[in-house]
Amino acid sequence: MTEQRQINPCLKRVFTAFNVFFAIVGGLILALAVLSHAVTRSAGGLEYNYGGLVLLYVLGSFTMLISILGAYGAHKENRVSLILFLVCMVIGSLVMLRAGVPAAFLRTELDEVMEDKLKALVPLDETSQENKNVANEVQEFLHCCGLFSYKDWQTQIPDSCLCNDQELMEGQCMTVSYDSMMMFGLARPKSIHKEPCYPLIKYYVNFMADVVLGVIFTLAVLAVLGMVLSSIMIHQLRNVTRTTMIFTMPPVFSAQPPKYQELYNTA
C-alpha cells in the first residue's frame, strides 16, 4: 500500500499568493519604519521615544518570516510548517487585537495628553538644556517658532526661529521687537517664523499614530485570513489521501512439480 498526500492546487495557489502579499506588506512595514526613523532623527522630537518605530521593525520582520514559512509549507505540502504557520497566525491575530483595540480608544485622547505634556515645558527658557536642544532642532526642521507661540521663549528667541530671505519673500515670517534683546535701550527687531510648532507636531504625531493603528488592524485581518486558509490546508493533508492498494493474487496453476510423486518399481 502506498499513500500520497495532496492539497487542492487552486487552494495552494491562493495560499501562495496570500503569502507573497503578506511578505510585501512586511517589506512595506520595514520600509516605513526606516523612513520614519530617518524623519524622526532629522526632525528631532521633544522626547526621543522610538517605541512605535521598534514596533514597526518587529512587525515587518515577523511578517516576512511567517510568510516564508507559510509559502514553504504550501509548496512542500509540509504539515508541520503549516501547523507552525497556523499557530503564529492565531497568536498574531490575538496580539494585534489586544494591542489595537485599546490603542484605538486611546487615540481619541492623544491630542489632549500631548498638549498637556508640551504645556509643561513652557516657558522654554526654563526647561532643561536637552529639551532646549530638541526644541531648536524641531524649529529648524519644521520652520516654526515656539510650541504655541514665539512668546514661549521669554528671554531670548533662538536663531532656529529666524527666517531666511526666501521665507521672507514667501510671506512665512513676521517681524517682532523683542525687549530682551535691547541694546542701549533699543529693541532689536527679528524676522521669525510665524507658525508655532505645536500644530505641526500634532499633525505628524497623529499621522504616525494612524499609520501604526492601520498596520496593526491590517495585520490582524491578514492573520485571520491566513488562519482560515492554513486550517483548510491542514485539514486536506489529514483527510484527502490517495491510497493505492496493490493486490497480489496467488496463481491458480503452477508449473512446479507436485510435492509428492508416486514411486514405481522399475525392476
- Into which CATH architecture does domain 122-199 fall? Orthogonal Bundle (1.10)
pLDDT tens, position by position, 144-162: 898 898 888 887 888 888 8
Better-predicted residue by pLDDT, 158 or 243 = 158
- Specify the range with the lowest mean pLDDT, choosing from 31-45, 75-89, 183-197: 31-45
The pLDDT value recorded for residue 87 is: 92
- Three-state secondary structure along 150-174? HHHCCCCCCHHHECCHHHHHCCCEE
**230 has pLDDT over 50:** yes
Rounded Cα distance, 158 and 190, in Å: 10
Describe the crossing of helices 129-142 and 198-239 by its angle, rounded to 10 degrees: 90
The pLDDT value recorded for residue 41 is: 60
Longest dimension (CA), the chain: 159
The pLDDT value recorded for residue 123 is: 86
Ordered by start, the domain boundaries in the chain are 2-115+202-244, 122-199
**102 has pLDDT over 50:** yes
Rounded to two decimals, the pTM is 0.66
Q: Does residue 138 contact residue 124 with C-beta atoms inside 8 Å?
A: no
Q: Mean per-residue pLDDT for 103-125? A: 86
Percentage of the chain with pLDDT > 70? Answer: 77
The pLDDT value recorded for residue 186 is: 53
pLDDT tens, position by position, 10-21: 888 888 888 888
Q: Mean per-residue pLDDT for 210-225? A: 86
Q: Mean per-residue pLDDT for 77-102? A: 88
Percentage of the chain with pLDDT > 90? Answer: 2
- Specify the range with the lowest mean pLDDT, choosing from 2-16, 17-31, 89-103, 198-212: 2-16
Output the average pLDDT for the chain.
78
Dump the DSSP string for 11-80: HHHHHHHHHHHHHHHHHHHHHHHHHHHHHHHHH--SS---HHHHHHHHHHHHHHHHHHHHHHHHHHT-HH
The pLDDT value recorded for residue 48 is: 45
**3 has pLDDT over 60:** no
